[in-house]
Structure 1
Amino acid sequence: GTLPDKGQSTGLPVSAFSVEKFLTHLIPTSIADAMAQNEILQIVIFAVFFSVAMGALPERSKQLLSLIDDIGHIMLKVTSYVMKFAPIAVWAAITATVAKNGLGVLWKLIVFMGGFYFSLFILWGILVVVGFVVIGPRYSHLLRLIREPLMIAFSTASSEAAYPKTLEGLNKFGASQRISSFVLPLGYSFNLDGTMMYCTFASIFIAQTYKVEMSLGTQLAMLATLMITSKGVAGVPRASLVVIASTLSQFNIPEAGLLMIMGIDTFLDMGRSATNVIGNTLATSVVAKWEGELGPEHALGPSDVVPPSMIPGEVPVMAGH
């Protein structure tokens, strides 16, 4: 088919990446604003400062800690209600995508989708092998425990929607609540394997489509840029598209190429969301083992539910990565 005109606008906000901008973005102007904008990285940083301050004032923090724990239980219950309606929302979003772009768009990009999912399966294989090497035969039990959050992440195209069930599975597996409630939210900012693969895949695909020659050095520079700019995108709808648009403009690749893949972004989002869940559960269980806090499998008690200060923002139903 014909390519979108190079000068055509995608309607996505684009700004050049800079280290200074990234560092200043880490510190929230206001925690209320960070929560409203669902800025995961900022929320995690505030949570760390807030918890350190609470630890420094243990007597004064007792009542507040109890309140936060209660809010955590309530929020997880609200999430369970929301998830009951998630399949309907996903069906509506996919229907709208096909209605707007037509089935022809999907068929033209079937090779791109096939290549992306083939690469994801290879990554899944590597992650599973690493899991068995580091954790041992027990790792198969963890894979069984995270089946439900994996399906939630895949069906809703949101790895954050699967957060409560992922945490529950890790705690059942034996990872201490202290480790899982810290490493898992951090992973939503720094360990988004599927999102990172999608950003590089899409950027190279668009460059090749427009026959833009890129040296190995340029490709490595693009990889390094994407690794930094993709931080904290987990809770922002279609945030990976914004990251790709910014990267394309920086490397003089027509950002209009994004218009080609917008029609199938929902389908690709499902695979990368599920990959993020696998990557983060592996990272958490490995850290728990290294710290000597990986105990035997057990049924969950009240203490195994994470306080809301460590939940990465409000869990969106349709957050894309």
Structure 2
Amino acid sequence: MQISPSRPAVSGRTPFYRHLYVQVLVAIALGAVLGHYAPDLGRNLKPLGDAFIRLVSMVIAPVIFLTVVNGIAGMNHVGAVGRVVLKAMAYFLFFSTLALVIGLLAAHLVHPGANMHADPASLNTAEVKNYTSHVSDMSITSFLMEIIPHTVVGAFVSGNVLQVLFFAVLFGIALATCGERAAPVKAFFDALAAPVFKLVSIVMKAAPVGAFGAIAFTIGRYGIGSMVDLAWLVLTFYGTSLFFVLVILGAVARVAGFSIFALIRYLKDELLLVLGTSSSEAAMPSLMEKLERAGCSRSVVGLVVPTGYSFNLDGTNIYMTLAVMFIAQATHTELTLTEQLTVLAVAMLSSKGAAGVTGAGFITLAATLAMVPSVPVAGMALILGVDRFMSECRSLTNFVGNAVATVVVARWEGAFDAARWRAALHGDVKADAADRDRAVLVNTGDRP
């Protein structure tokens, strides 16, 4: 390779301040300081966080569509699509249920609400009504119907991830079964993937600004002091989620042949972004690109990650059962074993119905309480002030859970390149378009 004299080769590592995770970490710290000492200004910076979330939402649909279509079109056996989805759903169902059980056990072990002694009649439920008003619109039937878009364009316009995924799977299967006649279309979509992923990298440069605005708003609006009275609940939730990620998912990762700590280090940029914005969706495009680059098949990444964002909500599930038990303990409501099992069943169903709804964690909690009348819905007012602080942990746990699920399913399918995985986790794989394309060739079994 010839090097231009005007662009000499430069050796050495990238300066630390050029790393995205460093920039986001600094932005989070500055946003927290500003929100604490200038809360009015902090609250006014909310549009910065909202604007970044909208920028990411803008690219999610094309990323999912191209990843899924190109992945399925390059598969040797279209029947593998159904097999991947079935394996992913079995994984989601088991670990979602396990997360609910762990949240319930943590509440029984720690009793975070036992010392609250709250009277439901004295609680201000005005703000809670903003969330409970959504409950009547939620049902499993309506959720499943919403997966099918009214029109092809509507799937992209609505921003519903599952609608885009549904259409992409059908279109990818159609493309794969058309044979040589579809070759020009396959080539077009494969070429289109390069500028779309480049667009993702451009959007991610705004991540520190979005994290700064989001944290400044959160601290300015709710204040760190709002956590003091309910610190035991917050600490219990964070501790339980940490246990789930490091012990439960750590064991799953070890059985699958990789380290949960290595995966977390590899995804540190995305995790800090999720922490700053309280939204795991903000890091979805980057997660898909990184997992594909690290050796997971494009088709598996495209099918498992978007589906997991609706069906594999480990952090939300831990939060739901823990929050229900906290409210019951705080209001001195005794729940029988049958009622607690009802909470598990209802929470499992309602978490699917709330997928894709803004404030899904709190709305799901309202839906669950509505089905367990012995626990007063008014008790939600007790945790409304700290819900935002628990939102970060919900999003982080959901994010790691979906990353682990994708790698595990890829290994089950034999659609995993161990050499590329080791290279990526050790920093030997660069995030350029050419390298990403080589990963696709390896993962789909194609050859240049």
TM over 0.5: yes
Query: In structure 2, what is the equivalent of residue 317 of structure 1?
Result: none
Whether 1:302 aligns to 2:437 is yes
Quote how far apart the aligned CAs of 1:54 are: 2.0
Quote how far apart the aligned CAs of 1:7 are: 7.8
Query: In structure 2, what is the equivalent of residue 131 of structure 1?
Result: 253
Q: Does the CA-based 8 Å contact 2:354-2:363 persist in structure 1?
A: no
One-letter amino acid of the counterpart of residue 288, structure 1? A
Q: 1:209 aligns with which of 318, 330, 352?
A: 330
TM-score by length of 1: 0.81
Query: In structure 2, what is the equivalent of residue 30 of structure 1?
Result: 151
CA distance in 2, matches of 1:283, 1:216: 31
Q: 1:119 aligns with which of 237, 240, 246?
A: 240
Aligned residue runs from structure 1 range 221-300, under 5 A: 221-231=342-352, 235-252=356-373, 253-298=375-420, 299=429, 300=435
Unmatched tracts of structure 1, length 5 or more: 307-321
One-letter amino acid of the counterpart of residue 130, structure 1? V
One-letter amino acid of the counterpart of residue 392, structure 2? M
Query: In structure 2, what is the equivalent of residue 312 of structure 1?
Result: none
Calculate percent identity across the aligned residue pairs: 35
- Cα distance 1:285–1:223, how it changes in 2: closer, same or farther (>3 A)? same
- Cα distance 1:172–1:85, how it changes in 2: closer, same or farther (>3 A)? closer
- Cα distance 1:87–1:259, how it changes in 2: closer, same or farther (>3 A)? farther
CA distance in 2, matches of 1:224, 1:19: 13
Q: Does the CA-based 8 Å contact 2:343-2:368 persist in structure 1?
A: yes
Q: Does the CA-based 8 Å contact 2:125-2:378 persist in structure 1?
A: yes
Unmatched tracts of structure 2, length 5 or more: 1-115, 421-428, 430-434, 442-448
Secondary structure of the 1:212 match is coil
Aligned residue runs from structure 1 range 77-88, under 5 A: 77-88=198-209
Q: Does the CA-based 8 Å contact 1:172-1:297 persist in structure 2?
A: no
Aligned residue runs from structure 1 range 7-18, under 5 A: 9-12=128-131, 13-15=134-136, 18=139
- Cα distance 1:95–1:211, how it changes in 2: closer, same or farther (>3 A)? farther
Q: What are the Cα deviations for residues 207-252 of structure 1, in whole angstroms up to 9, with x where unaligned?
A: 3323333222222222222222223756543122222222222222
Q: Does the CA-based 8 Å contact 2:139-2:350 persist in structure 1?
A: no
Q: What are the Cα deviations for residues 171-214 of structure 1, in whole angstroms up to 9, with x where unaligned?
A: 34322223222222222222121122122222322233233332
User: Which structure is richer in relative contact order (CA contacts within 8 A, separation 6 or more)?
Assistant: 1
Query: In structure 1, what is the equivalent of residue 172 of structure 2?
Result: 51
Q: Does the CA-based 8 Å contact 1:41-1:232 persist in structure 2?
A: no
Q: What are the Cα deviations for residues 68-119 of structure 1, in whole angstroms up to 9, with x where unaligned?
A: 4444433433333333333333443343344444544221121111010000
Q: Does the CA-based 8 Å contact 2:315-2:395 persist in structure 1?
A: yes
CA distance in 1, matches of 2:260, 2:226: 40
Indicate the RMSD between aligned Cα atoms, in angstroms. 3.0
- Cα distance 1:78–1:295, how it changes in 2: closer, same or farther (>3 A)? closer
TM-score by length of 2: 0.60
Query: In structure 2, what is the equivalent of residue 313 of structure 1?
Result: none
Whether 1:110 aligns to 2:231 is yes
Q: How many residues align?
A: 305
Q: Does the CA-based 8 Å contact 2:310-2:356 persist in structure 1?
A: no
